[in-house]
Amino acid sequence: MSEKSRFTVTQDWVEKQLGAPEFRVIDGSWYLPAQGRNGALEYSEGHIPGAIFFDQDAIADHSSGLPHTIPSPEDFADAVGKLGISDTDTIVIYDGPGFVTAPRVWWLFRTMGAEKVYVMEGGLDGWKKAGRPLETDLLEPAPARFTPRFAAERVTFIEGMRGIVAEGKVQIADARSPGRFSGTDPEPRAGLRGGHMPGARNVPVATLSENGVLKDLQSLRTLFAEAGIDLSRPVVTTCGSGVTAAAITFALHSLGHEANTLFDGSWSEWGSLPDTPVEKAAG
C-alpha cells in the first residue's frame, strides 16, 4: 500500500468528526482573478457543515504592500480567536480543488504554534461530487483563545532571500507554472518581471497532487529528484505570492524534510524590485 502524508485526512474521516468538541474545519480557498472563482462567494453558497472561512487576504500584514503576507503572531492569534479557533484544537483545512491553497493555511497555523493541523483530501469540489452534506449558514462562532508560538525559522524574508540567492547553498523550489518560471508566460500581477531566481528549480504545484489528493510519498520523492531537489539539503520554497509555495513546504514536511523555509514575499516581491537578479532560461 502506498505511504501517504501524515498531514492529510480523508473526507470519510472528516465527515465522521463533524460536530465533535475541539474539532474545527476551515475553508482556505483562495483564487487569482483569472481563475474565475471566488472563495468567499462559494463558501456562502455551500460549505462543509461547521466550517469557517479563512480569508487569506484579510488575515495578513497589510503594511507590507504585498498580497497576503504573514501577519504578526498577535494579529494572527486575534483573528483566528475571533473565528473560534484555539491552538489546541484539531484543525482540518480544505480548499476548492483539494491541494492548492489549503496548504498555505496549514503552514500559517503550524508556523504560529498549532500542532494538530491537517489538509482534507479532495477539497470541496470532491466533497460536493460525493454528495456529502453542505450548509449555507454563515456561522458566528464563540470566541476562543489562540496562544501563538511563532516559529520564525520557518519564514524567509527579502534580505534573507537575497543572501540565499547570492550564496547558492540553499536550494530554491518554485511552485509557479513552467511558463511563468521560464518567463515565457506573463505574471498575473502587473509590474512584475518574468523569470525566476538564479539557481531555482521548478516544482509546479499542479504536479504535487492528482484529483485534489497529494501524491504518495514515493511519488513525491521521485518528483523532487526529477526537479533537481536534493532532500538531504536545505530548501526554501517560493511561488507567485507565498500561497502555493506552501504546497511544496507541505510535501517536504510530509517526507520528513524539516530544513526548509518559505519565502513569504515570493515573486510578488522579488520580481517587483529593480535590483534582484532574474533568470529566464529554464532552471
Which is catalytic among the residues 112, 239, 246, 252? 239
Residues in the chain: 283
Alpha helices in the chain (DSSP H): 11-17, 39-45, 73-82, 102-111, 123-129, 158-167, 178-182, 217-227, 245-254, 266-270
How far is the C-alpha of 111 from the C-alpha of 108, rounded, in Å?
5
CB-side neighbour CA atoms (13 Å) of 283: 25
Residue the block writes with cell 474545519: 25
Active site residue 10: no
Residue 266 to residues 14, 25, 153, 180: CA-CA distances in angstroms?
32, 28, 16, 13
Strand 209-210 relative to strand 213-214: parallel, antiparallel, unpaired?
Answer: antiparallel
Q: Could you give the residue numbers annotated as active site?
A: 239
